[in-house]
Amino acid sequence: MRKALAIDVGGTKIYNTLVNDKGEIVGEIEKHSTPKTYAEIISLFKEIIKKYENTVDVIAFATCGAVNNSNDGILGSTGNIVREYPKTDFKSLSTKPVYVENDANCAAWAEHIIGASKNCPYSVMLTLGTGVGGGIILDNRLYKGKSGAAGEMHFKINRGNKRKCTCGSSDCFEAYASGTGLRITAVETSGNPDITTYDVIEGLKNKDEQMTKIFDIWQNDIINGIIGLADIFDPDVVVLSGSMAEFVDTDYITEKVNTEIVTQPTKVVKAQAGNYSGMIGAGLLALGVKTDG
Ligand SMILES: [Zn+2]
């Protein structure tokens, strides 16, 4: 069976494992702290690749940052990783083929092949974590746009309070729908500067009135974003993944979205491909695994 060495590159952690063409993890999951210098990141990549490249068909990167349409380099800046990272020449790292894709796009592909959007030609996936990632599948293909950067969830939610976003702009969907967004909504609503995301989630579980209200504001911001995405893409399904997705009520979100959209009814569901969906999707993409459609 063909397999890929999959490497997931984030701002704080780098993971690697082996993935086969069925989307199964067939190796150890190895976890590393993301080095603080560019030279150390490259030497970590080389060390991981040297250990496995003779046992795999392809090297697959799921990375932070938008990835070009030739799947070999990063476009623009990437937030919380060293400034030089986007200049990485991925192909030079191995004698085997090297394939690179954005981490959220990889996760969306994993859901499309083996997870919550399996058998759905049209889907949108949102990763609700510290930030918000996005991946769009249209007609069984990953939608990349003219440059490869499509699916960035920085469209504007106009609330007029100019909340700063990680991208440098303000009032982006990400600034509200992320875990960070929930914390800021909590601070703004409660007036308590020390309130945390954890406080809100605990309060929600204990049916605390104020925490439930804060959570509902946050969930409503997510609903508004999904309404826009559903109206634009008319998806079979909208998949919610990431650490914050476990707290949302997908039945409620589906109902609210379907009362507002002008396209045909859609479904909002939680992801099913697991915590390592980025590496699984990278492996499947790199191995050329597609659906029949
Ligand atoms: Zn933004």
Predicted local confidence at residue 94, as pLDDT: 97
pLDDT-above-90 percentage for the chain: 93
pLDDT (tens digit per residue) in 85-142: 999 999 999 999 999 999 999 999 999 999 999 999 999 999 999 899 999 999 999 9
CA of 198 to the centre of ligand 1 (A): 23
Q: How far is the CA of 132 from the centre of ligand 1 (A)?
A: 10
Task: Tell me the two tokens of residue 154.
Answer: 């920085």
- Cα-to-centroid distance, 103 and ligand 1 (Å): 17
User: Residue 291 domain-assigned?
Assistant: no
Query: Order of strands across the sheet with 237-241?
Result: 141-142, 132-138, 123-128, 237-241, 267-270
Span from the CA of 161 to the centroid of ligand 1 (angstroms): 14
Question: 176 alpha carbon to ligand 1 midpoint, in Å?
Answer: 10
CA 168 to ligand 1 center in whole angstroms: 6
Q: Is the domain of 126 the same as that of 50?
A: no
**Is the residue at 50 inside a domain?**
yes
Verify that 59 and 40 share a domain, yes or no.
yes
Same domain, 159 and 65: no
Are 129 and 161 within one domain? yes
Count of structural domains within the chain: 2
In this prediction, residue 158 has a pLDDT band, given cuts at 50, 70 and 90, of confident
Question: DSSP letter string over the chain?
Answer: --EEEEEEE-SSEEEEEEEETTS-B-S--EEEEPPSSHHHHHHHHHHHHHHHGGG-SEEEEEESSEE-TTSSSEES--SSS-TTGGG--GGGG-SS-EEEEEHHHHHHHHHHHHSTTTT-SSEEEEEESSSEEEEEEETTEE--TTTS-TT----B---SS--B-TTSSBSBHHHHHSHHHHHHHHHHHH--TT--HHHHHHHHHTT-HHHHHHHHHHHHHHHHHHHHHHHHH--SEEEEESTTGGGS-HHHHHHHHHHH-SS---EEEE--S-TTHHHHHHHHHHTT-----
CA distance 251 to 136: 21
Question: Are 93 and 189 members of one domain?
Answer: no
**Residue 161 in this model has a pLDDT that exceeds 80:** no
Backbone phi, then psi, for 158, in 5-degree steps? -90, 95
Q: Ligand 1: distance of its center to the CA of 190 in Å? A: 24
In this structure, is residue 292 part of a structural domain? no
Does residue 156 register a pLDDT over 60?
yes
What's the average model confidence in pLDDT over 138-151?
A: 97
Residue 46, beta-bridge partner list: none
Asked if residue 113 belongs to a domain, the reply is no
Whether the CB-CB separation of 16 and 48 falls below 8 Å is answered with: yes
At 241 the pLDDT is 97
Residue 210 token pair: 């104020």
- Asked if residue 114 is part of any domain, the answer here is no
Q: Is the domain of 17 the same as that of 104? A: yes
Q: Which two tokens stand for residue 124?
A: 């949108």
| Average pLDDT score over residue span 174-180 | 95
Mean pLDDT of the chain: 95
Q: Is the pLDDT of residue 271 over 90?
A: yes
Q: Distance, CA 34 to ligand 1 centroid (Å)?
A: 23
Residue 75 and residue 172 share a domain: no
Quick one: pLDDT at residue 205? 95
pLDDT (0 to 100) of residue 160: 76
The verdict on residue 204 lying in a domain is yes
Give the number of other Cβ atoms within 10 Å of residue 116's Cβ: 22
**Can you tell me the distance from the alpha carbon of 219 to that of 165, in angstroms, rounded to the nearest whole number?**
18
Mean pLDDT of 180-200: 96
Q: What CATH number has the domain bearing residue 226?
A: 3.30.420.40
pTM attached to this predicted model? 0.95
The span from the CA of 6 to the CA of 27, in Å, is 10
Q: Report yes or no on 199 lying in a domain.
A: yes
The answer, yes or no, to whether residue 28 has pLDDT greater than 80, is yes
CB under 5 Å of ion ligand 1: residues? 154, 165, 167, 169, 172
Confidence band for 287, pLDDT divided at 50, 70 and 90: very high
Q: Residue 18 to residues 54, 95, 110: CA-CA distances in angstroms?
A: 12, 17, 14
The reported pLDDT for the residue numbered 293 is 54
Q: Do 80 and 152 reside in the same domain of the chain?
A: no
211 occurs within a structural domain: yes
Find all residues with CB under 8 Å of 138, minimum gap 6, and list them.
121, 122, 233
Residues 49 and 81 in one domain: yes
* Tens-place pLDDT, residues 216-235: 999 999 999 999 999 999 99
**Domain range for residue 211?**
120-270
Please tell me the predicted confidence (pLDDT) of residue 157: 86
Pair of tokens at residue 110:
């994993």
Using the mean position of ligand 1's atoms as its centre, give its distance from the Cα of residue 165 in Å.
5
Same structural domain for residues 103 and 124? no
Q: Do 178 and 255 share a structural domain?
A: yes
User: Average of pLDDT values for 41-45?
Assistant: 98
Domain identity same for 205 and 260: yes
Gap from CA of 149 to ligand 1 centroid (Å): 14
What is the average per-residue pLDDT within 72-81?
Answer: 86
